[in-house]
Amino acid sequence: MIETFDQPWEAVSDLRITGVRAIVTAPGGIPLVVVRIDTSEPGLYGLGCATFTQRWKAVVTVIEEHLARLLVGRYPGDIEDLGRLARFSAYWREGPVGNNAISGVDQALWDILGKRAGLPVHELLGGKVRAAADTYTHAGGATVEETLDQAEAFIEAGWRHVRLQVSQLGRGSYGAPSLVGMTDAGAPYPHGWQVSEYLRRTPELFAAARARLGDQVELLHDVHSRLSPKQAVTLARSLEDYRLFFLEDVLAPELWDQLPGVRAASPVPIAVGELATSMTDATRLVLGGGVDLIRCHISAIGGLSAARKLAAAAELVGVRTAWHSPGDTSPIGAAANIALDVTSAAFGIQECHVYPEPVHEVFPGTPRVVNGWWYPNDEPGWGIAIDEEAAARYPAELSGHDAWAAGVRGIDGGLIAP
């Protein structure tokens, strides 16, 4: 029996939350966590993204064992109060497990609100300031040539922004295939990742890209948090001639206090925030002068309610948004990103994932890319449903990220931020 908590004030209707549960599925091969909130009105339910792929079982426990009892019996229109209750009730707050669970609840409540109003969520946020979100996609090959072949194909398909990554020998490449081979046969860890090789190889990639792709396409690159502040500045300056749209995640979160200095010394825009695990941390990035673009995983900071406040803060100080949206963002999370993109003046660019057909089977209404653009769904709420029978055909396993991260080491054997 779920213990319920009293409604703290008289609600505008007798509509109440009757159930809160997590649905875990992996139709694209990546574990996705979706919160479903049911209500006392037959057929009225909401969906929200709570995906923390690497620790999805922990998120499910928080949703079903801790948050459900706070929510059942409450009026679903009190979105802000319910989010604050979920956050403060744990006492020790913030962090990706709790905030992903809260995000799923938050987005599901917005979905319910849109369905009750008969409006898409972007209308509830104030309506469009643009028709669609321009997106970027990812090209990553084992060689420079393979990367640029992929980039050319994306450009021909309509994309105007392409992120470029290329493999290094050994383990630890990010955004491109791992190459089997030793980087230093005499080292304690001969398959190790070497920052010197990375700092040499990356400018070569972008020099070749500009020579082959020309100046019309926007180019991006993800460091994946592996550099020291001095190394980050060195890389940024070596890429100046190639006019990057942004350079992403140059420092690990433990060094974010040094981002303002790196940004000031960098001739290319700096995008950071994927590893922010609270709205508080993300807001400090925006207001502290450390970023040109903020690119949070909105499920990790608490959902749409948190992200729209962050977007408002970004607009006030000239920072642009570039919300995180790879394959470990569910289609509902992608829809939330798009709703923010088309309603915020702070929009910069949107990361894009082309979902495979099994995802569309499980989540009817999943966004499809059109010439590099993502358009908002005009159906009420998120405009995305879930076929739970189909979802059950794609059971989730534990993420393979743990095994990969364990191998991202230097040639001396020391772990490197993956």
Rounded-to-integer distance, Cα 115 and Cα 119, Å:
6
- Tell me, what's the pLDDT at 277? 95
The upper half-sphere exposure of residue 384, i.e. CA atoms within 13 Å in the direction of its Cβ, equals: 31
Q: What is the pLDDT along the chain (418 residues), one digit of tens a residue?
A: 456 678 899 999 999 999 999 999 999 999 999 999 999 999 999 999 999 999 999 999 999 999 999 999 999 999 999 999 999 999 998 999 999 999 999 999 999 999 999 999 999 999 999 999 999 999 999 999 999 999 999 999 999 999 999 999 888 888 999 887 788 889 999 999 999 999 999 999 999 999 999 999 999 999 999 999 999 999 999 999 999 999 999 999 999 999 999 999 999 999 999 999 999 999 999 999 999 999 999 999 999 999 999 999 999 999 999 999 999 999 999 999 999 999 999 999 999 999 999 999 999 999 999 999 999 999 999 999 999 999 999 999 999 999 989 989 999 999 998 8
Active site residue 198: no
Q: Which of 174, 198, 242, 394 is an active site residue?
A: 174
Residue among 357, 380, 378, 379 at smallest CA distance from 368: 357
DSSP line for 193-252:
--HHHHHHHHHHHHHHHHHHH-SSSEEEEE--S---HHHHHHHHHHTGGG--SEEE--S-
Active site residue 174: yes
CB contact at 8 A, 404 and 358: no
Rounded-to-integer distance, Cα 69 and Cα 174, Å:
40
64: three-class secondary structure by DSSP: helix
For tokens 């923010």, the residue is 340
- Tell me, what's the pLDDT at 4? 60
Q: pTM surpassing 0.75? A: yes
48 to 122, 151, 164: CA distances (angstroms) = 15, 33, 31
Q: Which of 224, 297, 324, 353 is an active site residue?
A: 224
When computed from its CA atoms, the radius of gyration of the chain, rounded to whole angstroms, is 22
Rounded-to-integer distance, Cα 413 and Cα 223, Å:
20
- Tell me, what's the pLDDT at 182? 81
Task: Extract the tokens encoding 392.
Answer: 């059950």
Residue among 310, 254, 251 at smallest CA distance from 284: 310
Strand 218-222, strand 246-248: pairing: parallel
Rounded-to-integer distance, Cα 336 and Cα 319, Å:
19
Task: Extract the tokens encoding 302.
Answer: 């608490």
User: Between vectors from CA 326 to CA 54 and to CA 328, what angle results, nearest 5°?
Assistant: 30
Summarised one tens digit per residue, pLDDT across range 355-398 is 999 999 999 999 999 999 999 999 999 999 999 999 999 999 99
Largest CA distance in the chain: 72
- CATH number for 124-380 (one of 3.20.20.120, 3.30.260.10, 3.40.50.300, 3.40.50.970): it is 3.20.20.120
